[in-house]
């Protein structure tokens, strides 16, 4: 297999304050989307949104005006229930008008409840957990076959990695030395039924992934300087796939949603909660 | 009837031939490549062959990723083991409606001695239920080669092609070309139609010859395209012969028998007698012994034919 050519550092170089403002707007849109739909998954959307902001506004080689460019970087949102996060960031990045976000989960809308390929900028439908890493492996293999040096990012949830498919795909990524593949784990510690440590403990996670032959790195998934260091780490790895473990907070930015499994899959319960969420996000 | 080349042998050869002409073909297997015969492709095109290990979920999702990035993956393993990835096929392949071809081998009871754990008899039903999935059960080597050609040259969506391990007689003409959604009339008849596919086509032709001795003129129609199914072809022969038998190396639930009965009951109800596995697991034994054991042999098709033919058409007054 031909090794990919060296990738140039082609990042946009937006500063932390600019990125923070973008993710603030995205957080606000996430709340508006799930409240308008009266359903959806705010908790895991708010925990991943800062990382998505860095990826779509700095890190990834993408062009919203040329969405089928063969050399584009790909992102697979394996935790497909975080559709409010992905859809809002795609809208802010210019893939489609922001007005469409308010039709989320409604009949006649393209914005399906879980991430859907029919939405501009989305690479694959997801929603059943555990499948996106394998899809990322396939995309990364295609990049190698074609000697087309794009990179593939896969966003995983920490509940999601309880799926056996993930560990199978970790083996495959390692076997084929997919140095163009970057998995990012949104380790917010909460899944639908409660705390991940109670549902299915996964101690020494970094060691486990290391032992599968991936380069691992832990960082704070809400600090843009830290996020960028993680991306630097990924760019520096040349001989194996990369697994970034982001320590995050479920429901980050809305006090009553933080670390609360109730808001894994429920919108603000009433007008009061809705207003409070938007106020807290604006004040941050 | 002359013996057919083994279907998986033909599959392996077609992959080799077409792999040279179509650079987008990639092949994935799960530690059964020497049995499914994808191994020769792997030797010739190692950069486009991926042995994913005994990890079918990884194999199917990687195939989805390859297809999303513009490749044309052929995914092979034993039919029974692919079924554990039903949900990967559903979500990552069929919902995305992408160009992934599942060509599975060792389907049905003719796996023989390996026994019930390896004899899948419900896969056609499972795969046919998936939106965007198309399902083909070739009858011989000629049809298998033609189907693979068709998939490579004419299609861009998910397909499930079900092959058996055993060699079966050649039933198609040498110049036969597979047409999706079209039945093939292998023997015409006026009294009864035997709709069949896969390994049961050869047996059905033998059964038709025996029925002739009992003065029943049976047509034998190969329904290799289970989905889409040839509704017009089925209705035409339902009307022409008024009596129907179905024969499949599969459960009588959710396979050929169900599809034929469903079409006829909606459009032109006639007596249908189904030959196949009757909601039971298989068992170890030689294939010909198993056909008899499960009442799917030539004599069973004959007696099904007689039953159907002698059945008074209860619905005659409606038509």
What pLDDT is recorded for position A3? 47
Q: Is B74 on the interface with A (CB under 8 A)?
A: no
* Cβ within 8 Å, pair A137-B61: yes
Between A160 and A5, the more confident residue is: A160
Q: Does B75 touch chain A (CB under 8 A)?
A: no
Contacts of A69 in chain B (CB under 8 A): none
In this predicted complex, what is the ipTM? 0.95
Residues of chain A neighbouring B27 (CB-CB closer than 8 A): none
DSSP per-residue codes, B248-304: EEEESSSSHHHHHHHHHHHH----EEEEEE-S----SS-HHHHHHHTT-SHHHHHHH
Give the alpha-carbon dihedral of B122, B112, B162, B59, to 10 degrees: 90
Over the stretch B32-87, which tens digit does the pLDDT of each residue have? 999 999 999 999 999 999 999 999 999 999 999 999 999 999 999 999 999 999 99
- Residues of A6-23 as b/e, b for ≥16 C-beta within 10 angstroms? eeeeebeeeeeeebeebb
Domains of chain B: 7-162 (3.40.50.970), 184-310 (3.40.50.920)
Q: Give the per-residue SS3 of A203-229.
A: CCHHHHHHHCCCEEEEEECCCHHHHHH
Q: In chain A, pLDDT over 90 holds for what percent of residues?
A: 95
Take residue A153 and report the two structure tokens written for it. 């990012």
Residue A178 near residue A238 (C-beta atoms within 8 A): no
pLDDT of the residue at B50? 98
- In sequence order, which ranges of chain B are alpha helices (DSSP H)? 7-21, 33-36, 39-44, 56-68, 79-82, 86-88, 123-128, 141-154, 200-213, 231-241, 256-267, 287-293, 298-310
Please state, rounded to an integer, the average pLDDT across all residues of chain A. Answer: 95
Query: How far from each other are the two terminal CA atoms of chain B, in whole angstroms?
Result: 38
Structure tokens given for B304? 């099904």
Contact flag B95-A123 (C-beta cutoff 8 Å): no
Give the pLDDT of residue A10. Answer: 73
B31 touches chain A (CB under 8 A): no
Minimum Cα–Cα distance from A69: chain B residue: B69
- The predicted-structure confidence for B87-145, as pLDDT tens digits, reads as follows 999 999 999 999 999 999 999 999 999 999 999 999 999 999 999 999 999 999 999 99
CA distance A168 to chain B (A): 6
**Span A40-87, pLDDT tens digits:** 999 999 999 999 999 999 999 999 999 999 999 999 999 999 999 999
Domain ranges for chain A, please list them: 16-283
pLDDT at A8 over 70: no
Closest-CA distance, A125 to chain B, in angstroms, reads 6
- Whether residue B72 lies within 8 A of chain A, CB to CB, comes out as no
Task: Identify the CATH class of A16-283.
Answer: alpha beta
Tokens at B225, concatenated? 């395209």
Which one, of B128, B132, B126, lies nearest residue B64 by Cα? Answer: B132
Strand-strand pairing, B218-222 and B184-187: antiparallel
Compute the average pLDDT of residues B189-210: 97
pLDDT at B237: 98
pLDDT tens sequence across A92-142:
999 999 999 999 999 999 999 999 999 999 999 999 999 999 999 999 999
Tokens standing for residue B41: 């492709």
| CB-based contact, B47 to chain A, within 8 Å | yes
DSSP state of A259: T
């Amino acid at each position: 297999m031909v090794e990919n050519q060296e990738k140039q550092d082609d990042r946009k170089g937006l500063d932390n304050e600019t990125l923070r403002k973008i993710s603030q707007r995205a957080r606000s849109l996430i709340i508006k989307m799930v409240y308008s739909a009266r359903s959806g998954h705010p908790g895991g959307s708010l925990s991943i949104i800062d990382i998505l902001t860095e990826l779509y506004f700095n890190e990834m080689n993408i062009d919203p005006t040329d969405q089928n460019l063969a050399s584009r970087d790909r992102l697979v949102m394996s935790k497909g229930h975080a559709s409010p996060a992905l859809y809002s960031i795609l809208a802010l990045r210019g893939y489609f008008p922001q007005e469409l976000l308010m039709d989320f989960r409604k009949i006649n809308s393209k914005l399906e409840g879980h991430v859907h390929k029919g939405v501009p900028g989305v690479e694959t439908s997801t929603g059943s957990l555990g499948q996106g890493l394998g899809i990322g492996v396939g995309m990364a293999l295609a990049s190698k076959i074609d000697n087309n040096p794009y990179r593939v990012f896969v966003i995983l949830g920490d509940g999601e990695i309880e799926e056996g498919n993930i560990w199978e795909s970790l083996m495959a990524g390692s076997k084929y030395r997919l140095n163009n593949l970057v998995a990012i784990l949104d380790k917010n510690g909460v899944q639908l039924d409660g705390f991940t440590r109670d549902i299915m403990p996964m101690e020494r996670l970094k060691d486990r992934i290391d032992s599968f032959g991936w380069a691992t790195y832990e960082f704070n998934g809400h600090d843009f300087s830290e996020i960028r260091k993680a991306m630097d780490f990924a760019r520096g790895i040349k001989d194996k796939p990369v697994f970034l473990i982001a320590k995050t907070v479920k429901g980050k930015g809305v006090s009553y949603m933080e670390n609360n499994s109730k808001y894994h899959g429920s919108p603000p319960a009433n007008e009061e909660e809705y207003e409070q969420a938007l106020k807290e996000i604006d004040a941050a | 009837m002359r013996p057919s080349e083994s279907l998986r042998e033909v599959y392996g050869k077609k992959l080799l031939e077409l792999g040279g002409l179509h650079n987008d073909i990639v092949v994935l297997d799960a530690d059964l490549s020497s049995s499914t015969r994808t191994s020769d492709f792997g030797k010739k095109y190692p950069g486009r062959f991926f042995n994913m290990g005994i990890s079918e979920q990884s194999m199917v999702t990687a195939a989805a990723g390859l297809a999303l990035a513009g490749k044309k993956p052929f995914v092979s393993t034993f039919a029974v083991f692919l079924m554990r990835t039903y949900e990967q096929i559903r979500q990552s392949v069929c919902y995305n409606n992408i160009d992934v071809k599942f060509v599975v081998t060792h389907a049905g009871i003719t796996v023989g001695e390996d026994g019930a754990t390896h004899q899948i008899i419900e896969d056609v039903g499972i795969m046919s239920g998936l939106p965007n999935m198309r399902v083909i059960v070739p009858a011989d080597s000629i049809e298998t080669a033609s189907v693979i050609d068709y998939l490579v040259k004419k299609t861009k969506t998910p397909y499930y092609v079900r092959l058996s391990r055993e060699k079966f007689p050649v039933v198609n003409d040498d110049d036969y070309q597979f047409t999706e959604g079209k039945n093939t009339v292998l023997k015409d008849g006026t009294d009864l139609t035997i709709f069949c596919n896969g390994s049961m086509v050869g047996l059905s032709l033998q059964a038709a010859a025996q029925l002739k001795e009992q003065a029943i003129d049976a047509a034998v129609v190969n329904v290799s395209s289970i989905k889409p199914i040839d509704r017009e072809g089925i209705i035409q022969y339902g009307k022409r012969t008024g009596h129907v038998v179905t024969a499949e190396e599969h459960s009588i639930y959710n396979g050929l028998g169900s599809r034929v009965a469903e079409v006829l009951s909606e459009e032109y109800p006639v007596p249908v007698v189904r030959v196949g596995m009757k909601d039971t697991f298989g068992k170890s034994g030689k294939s010909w012994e198993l056909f008899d054991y499960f009442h799917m042999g030539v004599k069973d098709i004959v007696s099904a034919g007689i039953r159907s033919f002698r059945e008074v058409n209860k619905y005659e007054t409606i038509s």
